[in-house]
Amino acid sequence: MPLLYLASGSPRRRELLTQIGVPFTTLSADIDETPFPEESPVAYVERLASAKAEAGLALLAINATGPTACVLGADTAVVLDGRILGKPVDQADALAMLSALSGREHEVLTSVALVDHQRSEVRTVHSLVRFRSIQSAEAQAYWDSGEPQDKAGGYAIQGLAAIFVDSLQGSYSAVVGLPLCETAEMLGRFGIPCWQRLEGKKP
């Protein structure tokens, strides 16, 4: 069975892979995440997911020993009116994002890339999230919590911002950072089964 490497520093992606019983090793794959001019949000997340996976594979190639390895990369973008909302640069930026998202529906795109030395596969999942109206005092309190500071779109659906979510169409795990249904299917095609931690256990 191939060894799986996760080219991501995201604790949320680590938790999600662990949730479905897939052993993995984390790699640090730093890449430039600046969007290209006129680049669409879908092209952006697919490019970054692939770049992370390929960068991770390149790191493994430096010490190419042992079993076959697969590298998983992923990227998530919050999109409003065709514009990517990245991680807030400061308080004003975060509050502006929350104000823009308040009472509206936005799109969350998550791309997953899986590569080995013979092939690569990329899949993108689209989800729609609608926020209720957010009062300015709530937005300020949320910023003060520290949670939005390193989150795309300035919020974490799995955290305190859950109270802002009026509805969700699509994949909850994709909004968190890794679409588990689609990821499991991709891993299976690369010979990596889920629920490995259940092997040997009786019902």
CB 120 within 8 A of CB 50: yes
3-state secondary structure 69-107: EEEEEEEEEEEECCEEECCCCCHHHHHHHHHHHCCCEEE
Q: Tokens 């502006």 — which residue?
A: 96
Phi–psi pair at 198, nearest 5 degrees = -90, -10
Q: How far apart are CA 94 and CA 65, in angstroms?
A: 45
Alpha-carbon dihedral of residues 24, 28, 29, 32, nearest 10 degrees? Answer: 140
CB 6 within 8 A of CB 179: no
Phi–psi pair at 77, nearest 5 degrees = -130, 135
- Whether residue 93 lies in the annotated active site: no
The active-site residue out of 75, 81, 144, 166 is 75
Do the bridges between strand 25-27 and strand 3-7 make them parallel or antiparallel, or are there none, so unpaired?
parallel
Active-site amino acid positions: 75
